[in-house]
Amino acid sequence: MHFAIIVSKKDIAGMNIRKNLLEMFDFSENGEFPGSKTYSLNSDKNMVTLYTIDGDTIVFEAAEQEIEADYFIFATRHQSKSGEKTLSVHFPGNFGEASDYGGRTGELCTAPAGLLKEGFKLLSASEDIGFSITLEATHHGPFIRKPVLFIEIGSREEQWSDARAGKITAKIIIEMIKNYNPEKKYETAIGFGGTHYCNSFNRAEASREIAMSHICPKHSISQLDETMVKKMIDSTHEKVDYALIDWKGMSADDRNRVIGILDNLGVEWKKTKGLGTE
């Protein structure tokens, strides 16, 4: 399998991670991508190539046309008003209108739930450097049809340039790739409800053999219909086993809306609380 790791020159966190990847692992220069050198690493049976782009990662819509790879991993910054120190993973896509943050309206990228599961497990087991470990709900671009995820350092410039965060993230990216086995079977779930930082789904991902795919937070529930929920299922790299509902993480009306759609589609659903994660 060929994994492409992509960082942007405009992204302090991405360049921090890039620096640590090149220092910690035996990458070798293997060519050029417009404006920058590319580096390759043979990792067990996998090929890993590190790309550096000039523009923003979230609008790099040409990624799969310009880069030949089976999986795409974007290593970037995460920015939030709260300024919380986070190491996070998530899938790209838009439940509603596309914005300045890339992607396409109502389109979700292919979500490799098993790969993200490996990354989340490694993050959760990593050295405690005072950063919260979290999933994020599906958001922003770019739109890519091949399996893709984001791994991010948040949420302010102080954290983006933090050497320890860059080192841990670089290490986890490579270990995630080494540990990933597409034949390994997790219970794959799509998620509904909660906030952007997915507390209930974090606990499910951490405590059970569950691999979360796309997560629709409570502020996007109003944009759901059967077509959109089908996209959540169809754009998951693995077969989806069921949906998880953060019961307390949405209004009763929204909960009924989600359950109605799932029942109409014949999709099994479970409460996160019923899994013993609350």
**pLDDT (tens digit per residue) in 208-255:** 899 999 999 999 999 999 999 999 999 999 999 999 999 999 999 999
Which of 123, 147, 179 corresponds to the end of one domain? 179
What kind and span of H or E run contains 78?
strand 71-79
Range with the poorest average pLDDT among 62-66, 190-194, 272-276? 272-276
266 and 212 co-located in one domain: yes
Which of 142, 158, 179 corresponds to the end of one domain? 179
25 and 118 co-located in one domain: yes
Report how many domains make up the chain. 2
Instruction: Please give the Cα distance from 133 to 152 (Å, whole number).
Output: 10
Name the packing angle between helices 199-207 and 113-124 (round to 10°).
Answer: 90
Q: Are 69 and 145 in contact (CB under 8 A)?
A: no
Domain CATH code at residue 195: 3.40.50.10700
Full residue range of the structural domain in which residue 163 is found? 2-179
Q: Is the peptide bond before 182 cis (omega within 30 degrees of 0)?
A: no
DSSP 8-state code for residue 135:
E
Tally Cβ neighbours within 10 Å of residue 33.
Answer: 16
Q: Are 83 and 91 in contact (CB under 8 A)?
A: no
265 contacts: CB under 8 Å, gap ≥ 6: 226, 229, 230, 233
Instruction: Please give the Cα distance from 4 to 47 (Å, whole number).
Output: 9
112 contacts: CB under 8 Å, gap ≥ 6: 71, 147, 148, 149, 237, 238
Between strands 46-53 and 71-79, the pairing is: unpaired
In the predicted model, is pLDDT for residue 29 greater than 70? yes
153 and 203 co-located in one domain: no
Structure confidence at residue 208 (pLDDT): 81
Instruction: Please give the Cα distance from 3 to 65 (Å, whole number).
Output: 15
Domain CATH code at residue 62: 3.40.630.50
59 and 172 co-located in one domain: yes
203 and 72 co-located in one domain: no
106 and 68 co-located in one domain: yes
The residues that bridge with 2 in the sheet, in sequence order, are: 47
The residues that bridge with 245 in the sheet, in sequence order, are: 192, 271
Q: What confidence tier does 277 reach under pLDDT thresholds 50, 70, 90? A: low
Furthest C-alpha separation in the chain: 55
Which of 179, 198, 214 corresponds to the end of one domain? 179
**pLDDT (tens digit per residue) in 167-190:** 999 999 999 999 999 999 999 999
Q: What confidence tier does 275 reach under pLDDT thresholds 50, 70, 90? A: confident
